[in-house]
Amino acid sequence: MSLLSRFRLAAFLCASLAACLPAWAQLSARTGPVVTTPHVRAELVAHAPDGVSPGAPLWVGLQIAHQPGWHTYWKNAGDSGLPTELAWSLPAGISSGDIAWPVPRKIPIGNLANYGYENTVLLPVPLTVGADFRPPAALTGAAEMEVRLKASWLVCSKECIPEDGEFLLKLPLQGSTALHKADFDAALAAQPAALAPPGRITIDGNQLQVRLDGLPAAAQGKSLEFFPETPEVIRTGAVLGQDWTQAWQGDAWTATIPLADQRSASPSVMPVVVALAEADRQPGQPPAWRAEAPVAGSWPAVAAPAQVSPALKAALEANAAPRPAAPSAGFAAALLGALIGGLLLNLMPCVFPVLAIKVLGFTRHADDRRAHRLAALAYTGGVVLSFLALGGAMLALRAAGAQLGWGFQLQSPAVVAALAALFTLIGLNLAGLFEFGRMAPASLGAVQARHPVANDFLSGVLAVVVASPCTAPFMGASLGFAIALPAGQALLMFAVLGLGLALPYLAAGFVPAVARLLPRPGAWMNTLRRLLAFPMFATVAWLVWVLGQQSGIDGAGALLGLLVGLAAIAWSLTLRGRTRLVLASLTVALTAVLAGAIGGHVVRPVEPAATAAAGQRWQPWSAERASALTAAGQPVFIDFTAAWCVTCQYNKRSTLADAEVLADFDARRVALLRADWTRRDPAITEALTALGRSGVPVYVLQAPGQPPMVLTEILGKNELREALARL
């Protein structure tokens, strides 16, 4: 193996290690009060009107905002589904009560029905501050206490998706926390009022005879909905007037309700809720009433309950509606998308320098079919194995808790600096400044002769290193799909993506018609080789700019100094005798000093501006800002971008800078937000994952009351204008 090949391998391994170390350092990703998924936005909120002290009222709760058409569940989910579960971690001396469930609504699904919530719901929980509560000591300013929550919920539409989240909220111990007062007031007003008389329930064959007394005049004569808190007792999908009846006798409400065909409970006391129709509810009046009614009579015998898993039970709802495509078909489509995306990755600008070198290498074997095939297989092996290594590292780190996505290694300034150094040396080698063979022992030449395909393999590795920041069309959806798959299927997706990238060179190696399109070797190759040094230097200039975006002008300047030192080392090693020893030692020492300088600069992040200047068109993205704008009725366009993403920069300077597109944005009052992923940002990673993506660019247009519209990676002017016209 040539020294150049060894250097490429060592540089790749160092770059991979540098990428992994910062990720491991951030395995405990920041936890906050908001979790966003493709179907809900969940937020941990609190209401402490008198601060946190013994005896003071204190409420916390999970507020869930559903996408249109999606819902979560009440404490009794009905025929399918699962209730939302909350697990609290609280300071010593503070205890939590039960969820104060707001009145649900009945959601018919064919001949079944569920009890749950749509739109936005707050599930409030009272906290009790005991006399033994001791506030934590404040380091600076007012003392705070941490409220942590692990929540899980099942969200359903035509399909059901289990989701969960971890939340952290810091509450000031003194002063009022009243930001969400209106939300808590509305949630508590939606509680059923307690009925003083307990009512009674009598079993009559396969029916329940229900009687509730003491209902207020505002409810009398109205049609009421019936919600039992005990699941799997009544036929939830029964239709009023067909399957069950109700009547009024003064302030007493009576009903005859059929039992479930597959009843699983025989309670002696049934907590039940009766609720007014939404059209009959009056502000300031209870919308529902609750009673714990004793049950008289003998329950009919029940058959042995079927052993149905919660997942299968939740799937009943999907079976009652048109089913989505089968998972196998979805996986096959994702594999096809990965193959096409890998193929199109060859057309991305960031891959051009390496591909040009690969074509140059192919021309050296123009008359040797066997060498062609070996080179193609070695290159493909390097590409596929590198994709598997990067994909496996990303999946492993995400499983460990790190918020990572495709191209994560270039979010590390150390990796950017290492790649800039590598490409500088390759460029100098192509330009003819030095040849590794002149500096290497003679034994290495024999190794290279015995293993001629090693350089082709490492060319594939290098191609993946420079291609990984790019996301080609079809590729984004496939990578987003891969993240949610089991590890084996996800790695197969990455392997197919690599196969797509290598496919043109496999064809050139095994299809003679393709190989004949390559030019014949000749003196022109030396000129082309030197010409290819300039795309390498252009890549270095881009990487220096990326590092400047990450670490500021000082970091970029330190990197330029380091690159000059590396060039001096390479030049000094081409000399002979004592001059080589003296100059090489001197340049190595100076470069080591520069390396120490850049080490201090590249780890120093440049914090993005928290707010943009007044009148500036693009504003920094945050989940809270996007939600606030949408809640105010304003459409939002989000540009998920990064400085190291060449496709992002192209779209930014073409379609997103087009005068007609900007005029359309202005005419429709679209707020423009930019989510900069140049350095690792767990909030942006979480938002990308919620959209089914794992890399940039991603472009999202969202409007109030509509699901987000994800546009293509190569953003076209006509595509964007047509999307804006549909607002």
DSSP codes, 159-196: SEEEEEEEEEEEEESSS-B-TTHHHHHHHHHTSPEEPS
Q: Please tell me the distance from the alpha carbon of residue 458 to that of residue 691, in angstroms, as a whole number.
A: 34
Helix (H, G, I), strand (E, B) or coil at 240: strand
The reported pLDDT for the residue numbered 406 is 58
Q: Please tell me the distance from the alpha carbon of residue 541 to that of residue 410, in angstroms, as a whole number.
A: 15
The reported pLDDT for the residue numbered 157 is 80
Question: 37 pLDDT band (50/70/90 cuts)?
Answer: confident
Calculate the CA 53 to chain-centre distance: 38
Closest CA relative to residue 624, chosen from 168, 47, 32: 32
DSSP run (H or E) holding 552 = helix 533-572
Answer yes or no: are the C-beta atoms of 3 and 440 closer than 8 Å.
Answer: yes
Of 256-265, 420-429, 512-521, the range with the highest mean pLDDT is 256-265
The reported pLDDT for the residue numbered 515 is 61
Question: 457 pLDDT band (50/70/90 cuts)?
Answer: confident
Cis before 697? omega within 30: yes
Q: Which of 251-255, 287-291, 405-409, 463-467 has the lowest mean pLDDT?
A: 405-409
The reported pLDDT for the residue numbered 22 is 37
Q: For the residues 255-261, what does the mean pLDDT come to?
A: 90
Same fold, 194-296 and 618-725: no
Question: 315 pLDDT band (50/70/90 cuts)?
Answer: very low
User: Is the pLDDT reported for residue 324 higher than 70?
Assistant: no
The reported pLDDT for the residue numbered 389 is 83
The number of beta carbons lying within 10 Å of the beta carbon of residue 5 is 21
Calculate the CA 448 to chain-centre distance: 44
Bridge-partner residues for 530, per DSSP?
Answer: none
Closest CA relative to residue 638, chosen from 703, 718, 689: 703
Of 7-11, 177-181, 396-400, 519-523, the range with the highest mean pLDDT is 177-181
| Fold classified for 618-725 | Glutaredoxin (3.40.30)
Residues 6+ away with beta carbon under 8 Å from 447: 1, 2
User: Is the pLDDT reported for residue 499 higher than 80?
Assistant: yes
- pLDDT tens string 595-610: 665 555 554 555 444 4
Q: Is pLDDT larger for residue 160 or for residue 673?
A: 673
DSSP run (H or E) holding 294 = strand 288-296
Q: For the residues 16-42, what does the mean pLDDT come to?
A: 58
What are the Cα distances from residue 332, in Å, to 233, 337, 483? Answer: 42, 9, 15
Bridge-partner residues for 635, per DSSP?
Answer: none
User: Is the pLDDT reported for residue 366 higher than 70?
Assistant: no
The reported pLDDT for the residue numbered 661 is 93
Torsion of CA 591, 594, 598, 601, to 10 degrees: 180
Q: How confident is the prediction for the chain on average, in pLDDT? A: 76
User: Is the pLDDT reported for residue 309 higher than 50?
Assistant: no
Of 430-439, 448-457, 717-726, the range with the highest mean pLDDT is 717-726
The reported pLDDT for the residue numbered 594 is 63
The reported pLDDT for the residue numbered 466 is 66
Percent of the chain with pLDDT over 70: 72
Bridge-partner residues for 255, per DSSP?
Answer: 210, 246
Q: Which of 41-50, 174-183, 566-575, 696-705 has the lowest mean pLDDT?
A: 174-183
CATH code for the structural domain at 194-296:
2.60.40
Q: Which amino acid is at 407?
A: G
8-state DSSP, 656: G
The reported pLDDT for the residue numbered 540 is 82
User: Is the pLDDT reported for residue 330 higher than 60?
Assistant: no
Going by their DSSP bridges, the two strands 224-228 and 636-641 should be labelled as: unpaired
The reported pLDDT for the residue numbered 600 is 53
Question: 414 pLDDT band (50/70/90 cuts)?
Answer: confident
Q: For the residues 158-172, what does the mean pLDDT come to?
A: 84
Q: Which amino acid is at 368?
A: D
The reported pLDDT for the residue numbered 415 is 74
pTM comes to 0.44
Q: For the residues 259-266, what does the mean pLDDT come to?
A: 82
Of 96-110, 388-402, 454-468, the range with the highest mean pLDDT is 96-110
Question: 167 pLDDT band (50/70/90 cuts)?
Answer: very high
Counting Cα atoms < 13 Å in the Cβ hemisphere of 520 gives: 2
Question: 251 pLDDT band (50/70/90 cuts)?
Answer: confident
Q: Please tell me the distance from the alpha carbon of residue 59 to that of residue 45, in angstroms, as a whole number.
A: 9
Q: Please tell me the distance from the alpha carbon of residue 671 to that of residue 702, in angstroms, as a whole number.
A: 10
The reported pLDDT for the residue numbered 372 is 72
User: Is the pLDDT reported for residue 615 higher than 70?
Assistant: no
CATH class of 34-191: mainly beta
User: Is the pLDDT reported for residue 477 higher than 90?
Assistant: no
User: Is the pLDDT reported for residue 450 higher than 60?
Assistant: no
* 281 token code pair: 């509810």
Of 284-288, 387-391, 642-646, the range with the highest mean pLDDT is 284-288
Q: Is pLDDT larger for residue 587 or for residue 379?
A: 379
The reported pLDDT for the residue numbered 152 is 92
Going by their DSSP bridges, the two strands 269-276 and 72-78 should be labelled as: unpaired
Q: Please tell me the distance from the alpha carbon of residue 290 to that of residue 277, in angstroms, as a whole number.
A: 15
∠ CA 8-10-14, nearest 5°, is 115
The reported pLDDT for the residue numbered 200 is 92
- pLDDT tens string 370-381: 777 888 888 888
User: Is the pLDDT reported for residue 680 higher than 50?
Assistant: yes
Answer yes or no: are the C-beta atoms of 90 and 105 closer than 8 Å.
Answer: no
Of 4-8, 59-63, 704-708, the range with the highest mean pLDDT is 59-63
- pLDDT tens string 62-86: 999 998 888 999 999 988 788 999 9
* 335 token code pair: 């594999």
The reported pLDDT for the residue numbered 4 is 41
Q: Could you give the angle at which helices 369-399 and 3-25 cross, rounded to 10 degrees? A: 10
Of 432-436, 672-676, 706-710, the range with the highest mean pLDDT is 672-676
Q: Where are the domains of the chain?
A: 3-29+326-602, 34-191, 194-296, 618-725
Q: Is pLDDT larger for residue 261 or for residue 120?
A: 120
Place of tokens 């009925």: 195
User: Is the pLDDT reported for residue 613 higher than 50?
Assistant: no
